[in-house]
């Protein structure tokens, strides 16, 4: 039935219903009293025709009245159900709003705990990074001109220990943000100097991991981060999605995808203007839990984690510059 017919029915039915409901009074006042159609005999009594038609009019009005009563009752029940459904939706909406408010409040607390120290020192870190990259450029010029640089100034430098501390703090921050046990995280860091091969930075190739050369030849997150530099982060809340897109390869601890886990990888560089000194790629993965186990805050979790990595990036750049000075010059 098309919309026009439905609309016509909605208009016509109430009109007919009203006419039939009022018709008994009209029938008695006009037709019976006026003795139309020979409804009464000469003595004023109903004829058979008059009795039959009067009963028919009243029964018809009664039936229409009953139908209207049933319809009103049904409509009232429908209205009550709609009201209940609306109340449920309002309650659910309030619950979602409260949940979002709690999420926002939790994120604010996490942000305060994780970002406060970094925010206070970010300007200093940036200046320190610029200082060391300029120093690297000077060292490079001295090396080209003199062929050697005294290493006395670099003997006390221990960037590996500092990098270890930075990555541990990064994991702790992500752990607080995602409520995932820090023991389920594995972080790796690799670097490459100009005209050299990629290598793991000492202590950051986790036990049982594949050799870096293998990962660079396979569909790994590290390879994807290096090759797809326009894509700032490789992020998969579910590693299985990364495998499907050929941007992740299972580690032994993944149990061929049966163990839940997430992966994020990020490529960045240490350079002074156009002078490139270090390329680096960091990956953070979980084994036994995802970043977002609920599956409802996937995008928010991705933004939060990538923002955290970005905040720690400058700290890592400083130590990578020092590592380059120590190992190259």
What tens digit of pLDDT does each residue of 195-229 get?
998 988 865 545 545 678 777 888 899 999 999 88
Regarding pTM above 0.75, the answer is no
Residue ranges of the alpha helices (H) in the chain? 3-26, 48-146, 159-178, 212-217, 221-227, 239-244, 298-328
* Both tokens assigned to 285: 């993965």
Rounded to an integer, the average pLDDT of 279-285 is 94
Extents of the domains making up the chain? 3-96, 150-328
Asked whether 223 and 216 are in contact (CB, 8 A), the reply is yes
CATH class of 150-328: alpha beta
What tens digit of pLDDT does each residue of 129-161 get?
666 666 667 766 766 666 665 554 455 567 888
* 40 or 253, higher pLDDT: 253
Q: Across 44-53, 57-66, 255-264, 280-289, which has the greatest mean pLDDT? A: 280-289
> Running DSSP on this structure, what letter comes out for residue 244?
H
Q: What pLDDT is attached to residue 284?
A: 94
């Amino acid at each position: 039935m098309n919309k026009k017919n439905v609309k016509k029915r909605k208009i016509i039915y109430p009109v007919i219903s009203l006419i039939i409901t009022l018709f008994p009074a009209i029938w008695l006042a006009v037709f019976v009293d006026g003795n139309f159609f020979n409804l009464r005999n000469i003595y004023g009594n109903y004829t058979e025709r008059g009795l039959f038609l009067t009963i028919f009019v009243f029964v018809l009005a009664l039936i229409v009245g009953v139908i209207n009563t049933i319809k009103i009752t049904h409509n009232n029940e429908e209205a009550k159900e709609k009201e209940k459904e609306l109340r449920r939706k309002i309650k659910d909406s309030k619950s979602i709003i409260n949940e979002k408010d709690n999420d926002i409040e939790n994120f604010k607390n996490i942000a305060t705990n994780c970002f406060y120290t970094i925010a206070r020192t970010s300007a200093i870190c940036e200046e320190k990074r610029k200082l060391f990259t300029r120093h690297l450029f000077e060292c490079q010029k001295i090396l080209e001109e003199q062929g050697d640089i005294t290493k006395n100034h670099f003997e006390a430098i221990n960037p590996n220990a500092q990098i270890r501390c930075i990555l541990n703090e990064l994991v702790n921050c992500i752990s607080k943000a995602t409520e995932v046990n820090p023991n389920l995280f594995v972080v790796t860091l690799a670097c490459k100097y100009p005209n050299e091969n990629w290598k793991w930075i000492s202590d950051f190739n986790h036990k049982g991991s594949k050799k870096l050369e293998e990962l660079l030849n396979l569909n790994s997150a590290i390879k994807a981060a290096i090759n797809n530099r326009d894509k700032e982060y490789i992020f998969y809340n579910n590693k299985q999605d990364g495998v499907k897109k050929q941007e992740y390869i299972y580690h032994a601890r993944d149990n061929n995808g049966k163990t839940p886990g997430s992966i994020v990888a990020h490529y960045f560089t240490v350079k002074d203007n156009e002078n490139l000194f270090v390329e680096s790629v960091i990956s953070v993965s979980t084994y036994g839990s995802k970043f977002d186990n609920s599956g409802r805050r996937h995008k928010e979790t991705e933004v939060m984690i990538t923002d955290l990595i970005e905040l720690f990036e400058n700290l890592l750049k400083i130590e990578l510059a020092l590592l380059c000075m120590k190992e190259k010059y």
